[in-house]
């Protein structure tokens, strides 16, 4: 804990030192990526009105109600402090100019597989990176000020990464932090609705997922979403986020993968588990993530089958141990 406090102080000192701060997050952002990135940006804007604070990265893909990105010229990176939130490995950072700054800080809650940056603050016990940013702000009340918009973004990030406070990473601290954020008076009902809302096409795809999931006797689940299915249901890759957690509510499912074929032919693999640890498997297939929620890639159907067999083995071993 003391080490963490020391790093938090060093991060605050760096923030105070630099007049220009540019904040990045991971590609294909989810609510926690945007919440932690722009939540931090809002806190810094309120706390240090004289500093230049930027949020940069690729398209926000359907999460425009949370935040938009800003255009930043290359020249602005000279002499700037760059902070990256919610991103375990440097290839996943959205906008590779993150490396052009004067100093780099990583703030994250994923396993610290690649400790890039001059300062690294990783807390894998936190439910979300948004929880880390909120706690960081509340830790230094003399220096950092929360505002309503930052609270909205950070709350949205926590709701997103905990599956509305359902997943096991939700702790008493998560609830305390969420309660504190809620007291800033943003419209919680509207935010929850925006996070939950889906187009009819995705609702219909949910039906397809339930109808077509294959589950073995040990609870290993597999859903294939080839390009033909995405086209038939008129959904794009980013919208599959809304169906990834669905198999978890089925009694017979223990761990599962949704294989989403990309226009180039390869498959994006979205892995989830109610018990067996799946992030080592993800790492073996060009991915990574949390013990119970990871992502990977399969170059073809042979690798899809390989990954599914590995999930089956994990489920089998898990069931045998019980």
Give the footprint of ligand AMP on this chain (CB under 6 A): 88-89, 92, 110, 244, 270, 287-290, 293-295
Nearer to ligand AMP, 153 or 292 (CB): 292
- What letters, b where the CB count within 10 A reaches 16 and e where it falls short, cover 285-307? bebbbbbbbbbbbbeeeebbeeb
**Closest approach of ligand AMP to the CB of residue 272, in Å:** 8
Nearer to ligand AMP, 61 or 118 (CB): 61
Sheet of 214-215, strand order: 214-215, 220-225, 255-261, 267-273, 293-298, 288-289
Nearer to ligand AMP, 20 or 106 (CB): 106
Nearer to ligand AMP, 114 or 180 (CB): 114
**Closest approach of ligand AMP to the CB of residue 60, in Å:** 15
**Closest approach of ligand AMP to the CB of residue 10, in Å:** 25
Nearer to ligand AMP, 136 or 259 (CB): 259
Task: Let me know: does 268 contact 232? Beta carbons within 8 Å.
Answer: no
**Closest approach of ligand AMP to the CB of residue 284, in Å:** 12
Nearer to ligand AMP, 79 or 91 (CB): 91
**Closest approach of ligand AMP to the CB of residue 196, in Å:** 16
**Closest approach of ligand AMP to the CB of residue 128, in Å:** 10
Distances (CA, A) of 54 to 22, 23, 62, 81, 221: 5, 6, 21, 10, 42
**Closest approach of ligand AMP to the CB of residue 169, in Å:** 10
**Closest approach of ligand AMP to the CB of residue 89, in Å:** 6
Residue with tokens 């948004």: 130
**Closest approach of ligand AMP to the CB of residue 184, in Å:** 26
Nearer to ligand AMP, 39 or 160 (CB): 160
Nearer to ligand AMP, 51 or 283 (CB): 283
Q: Which residue, judged by CB position, is nearest to ligand AMP in the bound state?
A: 295
C-alpha span between 171 and 163 (Å, rounded): 13
Nearer to ligand AMP, 57 or 288 (CB): 288
């Amino acid at each position: 804990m003391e080490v963490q406090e020391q790093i938090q102080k060093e991060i605050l000192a760096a923030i105070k030192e630099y007049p220009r701060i540019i904040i990045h997050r991971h590609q294909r952002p989810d609510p926690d990526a945007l919440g932690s990135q722009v939540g931090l940006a809002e806190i810094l804007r309120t706390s240090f009105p004289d500093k230049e604070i930027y949020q940069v990265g690729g398209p926000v893909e359907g999460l425009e109600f949370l935040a938009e990105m800003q255009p930043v010229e290359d020249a602005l990176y000279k002499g700037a402090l760059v902070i990256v939130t919610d991103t375990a490995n440097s290839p996943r950072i959205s906008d590779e100019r993150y490396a052009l700054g004067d100093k780099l800080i990583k703030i994250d809650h994923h396993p610290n597989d690649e400790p890039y940056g001059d300062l690294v603050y990783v807390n894998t016990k936190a439910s979300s990176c948004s929880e880390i940013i909120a706690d960081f702000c509340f830790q230094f009340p003399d220096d950092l000020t929360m505002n309503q918009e930052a609270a909205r973004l950070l709350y949205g990030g926590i709701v997103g990464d905990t599956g509305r406070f359902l997943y096991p990473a939700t702790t008493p601290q998560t609830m305390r932090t969420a309660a504190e954020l809620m007291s800033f008076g943003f419209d919680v009902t509207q935010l929850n609705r925006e996070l939950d809302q889906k187009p009819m096409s995705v609702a219909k795809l949910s039906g397809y997922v339930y109808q077509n999931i294959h589950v073995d006797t040990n609870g290993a689940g597999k859903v294939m979403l080839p390009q033909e299915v995405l086209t038939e249901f008129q959904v794009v890759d980013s919208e599959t986020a809304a169906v990834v957690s669905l198999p978890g509510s089925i009694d017979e499912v223990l761990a599962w993968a949704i294989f989403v074929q990309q226009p180039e032919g390869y498959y994006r693999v979205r892995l989830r588990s109610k018990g067996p640890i799946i992030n080592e498997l993800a790492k073996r297939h060009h991915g990574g993530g949390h013990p119970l929620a990871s992502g990977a890639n399969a170059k073809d159907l042979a690798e899809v089958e390989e990954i599914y067999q590995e999930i089956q083995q994990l489920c089998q071993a898990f069931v045998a141990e019980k």
